[in-house]
Amino acid sequence: MKKHGIIMMVTIFVLSIVLSGCGGGSDSKTITFWTPLTGDDGAYMDQLVKEYNATNPEIQVKHVITADMYTKISTVLNSGKGVPDLAIIHADRVPGFVKQGMLEQIDSAIAGQPEIKEENYLPQAWTTGNIGGTQYTVPLDIHSNTMYYNKDLLKKYDVEYFLDDDVVTIDEMLSLQGKLDEGDYVVNDALLGWVILAQIQNLGGAIEENGQPAVNTPVMKQAFEEVKKIADAGLMTPFGEDGYLMFQSGNVFFSTDGTWSSTAHAAVEGLNFGVTNIYSATADKFTNRASSHLFAMLKNDKRSDEKEAGIGAFLEFIRQNSIEWAKAGQIVASKEVIESPDYSQYMQSFFTSNEKEIESLYIYTYEYYPYVAEAVDTYCADIVRGNVDLDETLQTMQKFVEDKISESSKTEAN
């Protein structure tokens, strides 16, 4: 019996260690850091954390990649157990999280770090974390919709001049109708919803009016109609086929995927490509719909002052040393990094090469933007391909967003 009792005590002790390791604040000498970085970018963040810990800080950082992070965040905040000390969240989550009281202001963590301030970061990356004059986040990056181009195809069809002003227009694309060899296409449908949302800005529109979602609007209809012209002309990669891979195979002029895809494209042997802005309905305006990875502290009364100071030290290290993050194809938010000579070797440096490019990186900050984006992503392909009636589908999309808002309001009330 005595032996069994000892075994049981040891088992309980081991389990307590394991559970505390999975949680978020029980170890006073470890900052538990959650991210949703399940792709290759997770490895780059692992390396950054490793490099920071090699400086022998008083409190080490433990990076935990969490696939369903937002679901788990809700779970741990509701229970009050296992809340991470630090997390990376997306820009569109900030307004809703603040409204629901899920975030701590970041000021307490960065009070001892005078260089962590607005002027040292890309402006929209910093301000997206400022709600009502309170700063809740510190930015890591901006990750943007972008348009890669096949240099060989542009030369073959003698349209390299499309890139002269860094704005490829829909009319320029349409000028190729009837001139392409069989199997060649002008553009694919990668991140098509992001492209539509960029056109909203190009056309001077918005996705909200007085705090209410504005989806079934003339400007949204026009945005779809403009992009639909490309598909109607037979210049967009076929519906249901992988246009991303078709670009990598050398049969597509333009691919509208993300800055983070540059590493994958670069790995394709023989693909001679460059990067420019997302195409536009007008030569006067171009927009690259973007988001941002932001460092944030979730509500946690058990987080010590020492840990908050440790978080600040980690964020200052990232501000100075996040050139590693550029390897993931991300637009680093720290001006110290993007203004360094080393950063120019990365393709996404195009988007910080001048003020006009920086301004083109548009981050939506509307509280219910995630629902608008979900509606656009759900229906955009069928609209652009002419599989559904545009007017009827815009009505459906408007109701889709309104229903989502209603459901979330009921959940918050409970």
CATH number at residue 386: 3.40.190.10
Judge whether 204 lies within some domain.
yes
Judge whether 342 lies within some domain.
no
Q: What pLDDT is attached to residue 4? A: 46
Judge whether 127 lies within some domain.
yes
The rounded distance, in Å, linking the Cα atoms of 318 and 63 is 14
Q: What is the DSSP letter of 110?
A: H
Per the structure block, which two tokens stand in for 118? Answer: 């607005």
* Pair 90, 51 in one domain: yes
* Pair 208, 97 in one domain: no
* Pair 299, 173 in one domain: no
Contacts of 109 (CB under 8 A, 6+ apart): 297, 308, 309, 311, 312, 315
* Pair 178, 282 in one domain: yes
Judge whether 344 lies within some domain.
no
* Pair 268, 376 in one domain: yes
Counting beta carbons within 10 angstroms of the beta carbon of residue 125, is it exposed (0 to 12), middle (13 to 18) or buried (19 or more)? buried
* Pair 240, 121 in one domain: no
Judge whether 343 lies within some domain.
no
Bridge partners for 296 per DSSP:
87, 137
Q: What is the DSSP letter of 106?
A: T
* Pair 35, 152 in one domain: no
Judge whether 160 lies within some domain.
yes
Judge whether 331 lies within some domain.
no
* Pair 26, 120 in one domain: yes
Residue 283 sits at φ, ψ, to 5 deg, of: -75, -15
* Pair 265, 306 in one domain: no
* Pair 238, 381 in one domain: yes
> What is the full per-residue pLDDT of the chain (414 aa) written as tens digits?
444 444 444 443 433 333 334 444 457 889 999 999 998 899 999 999 999 999 999 999 999 999 899 999 999 999 999 999 999 999 999 999 999 999 999 999 999 999 999 999 999 999 999 999 999 999 999 999 999 999 999 999 999 999 999 999 999 999 999 999 999 999 999 999 999 999 999 999 999 999 999 999 999 999 999 999 999 999 999 999 999 999 999 999 999 999 999 999 999 999 999 999 999 999 999 999 999 999 999 999 999 999 999 999 999 999 999 999 999 999 999 999 999 999 999 999 999 999 999 999 999 999 999 999 999 999 999 999 999 999 999 999 999 999 999 998 776 665
Domain count of the fold of the chain: 2
Per the structure block, which two tokens stand in for 68? Answer: 């369903």
Contacts of 104 (CB under 8 A, 6+ apart): 136, 296, 297, 298, 299, 300, 303
Counting beta carbons within 10 angstroms of the beta carbon of residue 361, is it exposed (0 to 12), middle (13 to 18) or buried (19 or more)? buried
Judge whether 359 lies within some domain.
no
Contacts of 397 (CB under 8 A, 6+ apart): 215, 216, 375, 376, 378, 379
Residue 76, domain extent: 2-140+292-321
* Pair 317, 240 in one domain: no
DSSP assignments along 59-96, one per residue: SEEEEEE-TTHHHHHHHHHHHTSS--SEEEEEGGGHHH
354-359 contacts at long range (C-beta below 8 A, 24 or more positions apart): 357/277, 358/122, 358/123
What is the sign, positive or negative, of the torsion defined by CA atoms of 400, 402, 403, 404? positive
Helical ranges in 249-333 per DSSP H: 262-266, 305-321, 323-326
* Pair 274, 297 in one domain: no
